[in-house]
Amino acid sequence: MIQINNIKFNYGNGFNLDIKNLHIKNGEIVSIIGPNGAGKSTLIKLISKILPLKYGNIFIDSKNLKSLNLKELSKLIAVVPQEFNTIFDYSVKSIVETSRLPYSKKFDFFTENKEDENIISNSMKKTDTYKFKEKSFSNLSGGEKQRVMVARAFAQKSKILLLDEFSSHLDPGHTQYLLNIIKNLSQKENLTILSVFHDINLASLYSNRILIMKDGKIIKDGTPNEVITKKIIEDIYNFKAEIIIHPKYKIPQVIFQ
Ligand SMILES: Nc1ncnc2c1ncn2[C@@H]1O[C@H](COP(=O)(O)OP(=O)(O)OP(=O)(O)O)[C@@H](O)[C@H]1O
């Protein structure tokens, strides 16, 4: 569960994020869409404590984010960031292994027990990254790196998954495959998903609920059918769109006019 109460944030450059009230229930799949610079990544970074929150409160499972240390927070939230690069030349497996640090008793980059090892291998197999586990992370393609970051997030075994355009470098096959896994995890394990998408059609296809952000605010919040309308999409993105209905799932899909 994520509860946001009256948060405000700025970088000191004119951009202001201002969110009054947002509640995301356990097991919900919520997507955030909106134009460039709307504040989507900033919101993800505030919820994951990458950016410091000065005004307002965020509660994760009824615990105030301000009172959670990094280890406690990492057991509750896993993040797949928009970009991830390492300074050192780590192997893929070492990157995924860092996911188990919140559960280790000491700071140790090596897996400590059989359970950790199984979780790490399973996460890599699920994300189709096991086959290059010994490869250097920095030499992977953009899409391969994104899959490794999803593997790391899965292995973290948190209750909430924050995805920031995690599919931007993925081919359609891997996008569909990983989104289906994420949807299944949400249904089977009551995992809560908050995901930033530029692809409105993916957001519509995979979410129970869509938030539209613009100028640092949430201006629409509803089901795909409620918020993906011709008028809303054209106003928000300032482009000519047509809405068609997905023949199988009866949800809106946007095409260029
Ligand atoms: N580290 C930073 N320092 C200063 N300004 C920043 C920083 N990060 C983002 N901004 C600014 O804050 C605003 C919101 O950025 P943010 O990355 O949250 O938008 P976004 O909705 O995720 O955009 P996009 O769709 O382009 O990824 C933008 O105007 C951006 O230039």
State pLDDT tens for residues 219-229.
999 999 999 99
pLDDT of 109 > 90? The answer is no
Distance (Å, whole) CA 174 – CA 192: 21
The most distant pair of C-alpha atoms in the chain lies apart, rounded to whole Å, by 57
Q: What is the pTM of this model?
A: 0.94
Which string of DSSP letters, residue by residue, matches 25-56? -TT-EEEEE-STTSSHHHHHHHHTTSS---EE
Average the pLDDT over each of 13-17, 34-38, 98-102, 150-154 and give the range with the smallest value: 98-102
Tokens at 104, concatenated: 């280790």
Task: Specify the pLDDT at position 107.
Answer: 53
Distance, CA 202 to ligand 1 centroid (Å)? 22
Tens digit of pLDDT for each residue in 95-107?
Answer: 999 888 888 765 5
Determine the pLDDT at residue 238: 93
Is pLDDT of 108 > 60? no
Q: Give the Cα separation of 147 and 78 in Å (integer).
A: 14
**63-64: strand order across its sheet:** 16-24, 2-10, 55-60, 63-64
In this predicted structure, what is the pLDDT of residue 214? 97
Rounded mean pLDDT, 174-199: 92
70 φ/ψ angles, rounded to the nearest 5 degrees: -60, -40
Per-residue pLDDT at 76: 96
- Nearest protein Cα to ligand 1, atom 5: 11
* Residues 20-49 as b or e (16 or more Cβ within 10 Å = b): eebebeebbbbbbbbeeebbbbbbbbbbbb
Say which residue, 17 or 62, is predicted with more confidence. 17
Tens-place pLDDT, residues 133-171? 999 999 999 889 999 999 999 999 999 999 999 888 899
Residue 17 predicted with pLDDT over 80: yes
| Ligand 1 neighbours by CB, cut-off 6 Å | 11, 13, 15, 34, 36-42
With contact defined as beta carbons under 8 Å apart, do 233 and 241 qualify?
Answer: yes
Closest CA to 112 of 125, 121, 103, 123: 103
Q: At 110, is the pLDDT very low, low, confident or very high (cuts 50, 70, 90)?
A: low
Closest residue CA from atom 16 of ligand 1? 39
